[in-house]
Amino acid sequence: MHGVKRRVKSSQEVETERKNAELEKIQKFRSLQAAFMQKRAAQALDQEVLDITASLLDMNPEFYTLWNYRRQVFQHWHAVRGSVAAVQSDYEHELRYLEQLLMLAPKSYWLWLHRKWVTSRMQCNWQHELRLCAKALSLDERNFHCWDYRRFAAEKAKCTLQEEFAFTTKKIEDNFSNYSAWHQRSALLPQLHKSQPDELLKALQTELELVWNAFYTDPADSSTWFYHRWLVDQACQLLVSAASSANQDAAAVGLKQRALVEAELKKCQDLMELEPESTWPRATCMFLMMRLLALPGDSSLASEYKSTVCKNLAVLKQVDPFRTKHYEYLEDSLA
């Protein structure tokens, strides 16, 4: 009512109410768990046990024993009924239930695993599954459980490699810091240019241009730096394979590899001048110099590279103490 002063609860009262609500939830969970264990001991495979497991999973979707038991129930029902329509109906209902939970717990491994199990046993609308994945990835672009399920759904939907590559491009354009999208590209590129080494090398060079855009956007993001290392490794390996097919000598191959790595090193050094406090440009300069030291050919800069690598390792141990042992290992390998 107007003019009546409302009483504000004290922090102690609020905390007491929170604890009571939490205790009530725990008691309910334990009661349902006991009911489930009784059903399980009796090997009950009916609707009631499905309802009990659903109530428990609403509170804890990571309770994987419940997902296993739900699968047993469905398998029993379908063995007894034998009706394709009934099987389809049961699984459609299960997918709707899973979809509700996935919006609450999109990074639950067991939810995605159970969905994969269900969709593998029914007439599934795979385009809907791809839309669901897109929705889940809009909530968390780095949800690797969802990415894994999406690869499965894309294969079932017969998506082309080009479509999948375009999808990763869109996700990276939305956010460069996406380990899963970069990883998916690393899996797709060799497939897109299978038996076409020249085209693959061009694609790798295009990817190198893309990651440099990301570096200048956010030089502290590690996902693009890891992908950059993979690109350099793949390009160098591809040059060796191509030279072997063309019967080129090792010196010529070494020169091509050296030119590629030195070009990346120069760009990395330029970025390090702009971002002297950033760890990843310095670490990548060190990685590229060590790669140059391992290549055949001109060794005139070897001592300079070794000296620079040692200086970078000393700095990295100071600014990145969590990886000190790794840097010490690299120092030992240089010696």
Per-residue pLDDT tens for 176-193?
899 999 999 999 999 999
Q: Which are the contacts of 121, defined by CB distance < 8 A and separation ≥ 6?
A: 87, 91
How far CA 39 is from CA of 49, 50, 72, in Å, comes to 7, 10, 13
What are residue 300's phi and psi, to 5 degrees? -65, -25
CB 132 within 8 A of CB 99: yes
pLDDT value at residue 10: 72
| CA 292 – CA 306 distance, rounded (Å) | 10
- Please write the tens of the pLDDT for every residue from 47-67: 999 999 999 999 999 999 999
**Mean pLDDT over the full length of the chain:** 90
> How many angstroms separate the most distant Cα atoms in the chain?
94
- The verdict on pTM exceeding 0.75 is yes
Q: For residue 132, what pLDDT is reported?
A: 96
- Under the banding of pLDDT at 50, 70 and 90, the label for residue 294 is confident
Rounded CA separation 132/137 (Å): 9
With a cut of 70, say whether residue 224 has pLDDT above it.
yes
Q: In whole angstroms, how far apart are CA 6 and each of 3, 36, 173?
A: 9, 44, 50
Residue bearing tokens 């591809």: 238
Percentage of the residues of the chain whose pLDDT score is greater than 90: 67
* pLDDT value of position 2: 59
